[in-house]
């Protein structure tokens, strides 16, 4: 129960005093102490201030604004409260033996134990959801076995230009739907087999990370290859990640592989941001009261509980997800109100919130 000083006059100080007990629900710390309340101004009973969130994709935005308004309205003389909401994404913590990517605040990897579970679909739509929320976002398609990101974003014909700079050549990522993208597909002949050795892969990933013209990014999403082989190990040890999202489908074979992947990242000290269960269920569009658990049910939830990581969400099987993926129109663009798009947006918000909490957890 918060007690506000009822008799305080209406000043910037008294506004900050009533806002001080209001906490960021995830960080569990005062918004005022976190410097999230800025530019307080008072004019004829109207209180205005800026609320600076830790991610534009904040899932609790409305809730925090309401809490702030409620607190300010307890002051006598307040007729109106106007909150301008903006965001400053914090920079992920530096990692030992890794070099930060200049200008890039948070690198989020998306991985899966098994191929074909929808890892690239989740990676692309996660990137888009963050961009649609107002963040600046880039993508690295590091899936050597199936570099599908360009197809999913309609960048099949794109060419990566190289710009000569005094410090060395810079790759200029093509842009699709507001995302800057580099992909293995831009560098290899997709019809020719490529035998990747760890060091080669590491070299290309380093080039993607450190020799691309990313500019300033809030989030860089890395679509990793599936599995727990050398390639994943090399990448997990090369990329300075804020955390990894693991994608699985609900059937036992996929869950077994997801468990192995999850353990690998945990053993390597990479933060597992959570598990995403894809193709969780199917509701026929012409029979909306029916639900089919094609690949079983409850598996993602059980694995998340067993491994002590959050289940970030469950995405239904929907035909437009597949069609959009093939046509360069991801579901967040093709049908933003579909159940799959809504699930993906909620997942992106949770990922962003967890990344911000991790970045700020030792601050102050
Ligand atoms: N929820 C969904 N509903 C319908 N189709 C889906 C869904 N998720 C993914 N797909 C489709 O399944 C196929 C595999 O998805 P995707 O390429 O994202 O998987 P992946 O795990 O990245 O595979 P790989 O490891 O082989 O690259 C694609 O055709 C994609 O459009």
Q: What is the pLDDT of residues 259-278, one digit of tens each?
A: 999 999 999 889 999 999 99
pLDDT digits (tens, 9 = 90+) for 203-241: 888 899 999 999 999 999 999 989 888 778 888 888 899
Q: Ligand 1 pocket, 258 CB below 6 A?
A: no
Ligand 1 contacts CB of residue 77 (under 6 A): no
The reported pTM is 0.92
111 lines ligand 1 (CB under 6 A): no
Q: Is 180 in the pocket of ligand 1 (CB under 6 A)?
A: no
Residue nearest to atom 3 of ligand 1 (CA): 317
Determine the pLDDT at residue 328: 95
Binding-site residues for ATP: 113-120
C-alpha 119 – ligand 1 centre gap (Å): 7
Nearest CA to ligand 1 atom 31: 322
Tell me how many helices (H) and strands (E) the chain has: 11, 15
Q: Which CA distances in Å does 358 have to 13, 241, 275, 336?
A: 30, 12, 17, 29
Ligand 1 atom nearest to CA at 123 = 18
Taken in order of first residue, the domains within the chain and their CATH numbers are 12-87 (3.30.300.130), 104-360 (3.40.50.300)
Nearest CA to ligand 1 atom 27: 146
Which pLDDT band holds residue 108 (cuts at 50, 70, 90)?
Answer: very high
- Adjacency order of strands within the sheet including 80-87: 37-43, 46-53, 80-87
């Amino acid at each position: 129960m918060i007690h506000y000083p009822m008799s305080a006059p209406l000043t910037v100080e008294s506004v900050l005093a009533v806002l001080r007990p209001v906490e960021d629900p995830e960080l569990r710390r005062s918004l005022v102490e976190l410097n999230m309340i800025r530019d307080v101004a008072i004019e004829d009973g109207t209180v205005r201030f800026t609320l600076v969130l830790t991610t534009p994709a904040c899932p609790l935005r409305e809730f925090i604004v309401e809490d702030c308004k409620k607190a300010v309205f307890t002051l006598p003389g307040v007729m109106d409260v106007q909150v301008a909401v903006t965001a400053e994404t914090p920079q992920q913590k530096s990692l030992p033996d890794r070099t930060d990517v200049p200008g890039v605040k948070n690198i989020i990897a998306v991985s899966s134990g098994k191929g074909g579970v929808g890892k690239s679909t989740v990676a692309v739509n996660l990137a888009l959801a963050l961009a649609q929320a107002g963040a600046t976002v880039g993508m690295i398609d590091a899936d050597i076995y199936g570099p599908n990101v360009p197809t999913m974003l309609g960048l099949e014909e794109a060419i990566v230009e190289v710009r000569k700079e005094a410090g060395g050549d810079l790759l200029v990522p093509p842009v699709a739907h507001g995302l800057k993208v580099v992909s293995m597909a831009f560098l290899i002949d997709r019809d020719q087999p490529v035998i990747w050795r760890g060091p080669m892969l590491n070299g290309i990933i380093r080039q993607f990370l450190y020799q691309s013209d990313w500019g300033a990014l809030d989030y860089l999403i890395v679509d990793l290859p599936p599995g727990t082989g050398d390639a994943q190990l090399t990448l997990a040890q090369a990329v300075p990640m804020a955390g990894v999202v693991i994608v699985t489908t609900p059937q036992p074979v996929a869950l077994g592989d997801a468990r192995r992947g999850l353990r690998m990242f945990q053993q390597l000290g990479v933060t597992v941001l959570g598990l995403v269960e894809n193709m969780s269920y199917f509701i026929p569009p012409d029979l909306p009261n029916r639900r089919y658990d094609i690949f079983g049910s409850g598996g993602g939830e059980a694995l998340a509980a067993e491994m002590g990581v959050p289940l970030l969400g469950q995405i239904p099987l929907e035909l437009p997800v597949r069609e959009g993926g093939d046509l360069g129109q991801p579901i967040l663009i093709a049908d933003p109100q579909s159940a799959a798009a809504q699930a993906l947006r909620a997942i992106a918000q949770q990922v962003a919130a967890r990344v911000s909490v991790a970045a700020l957890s030792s601050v102050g």
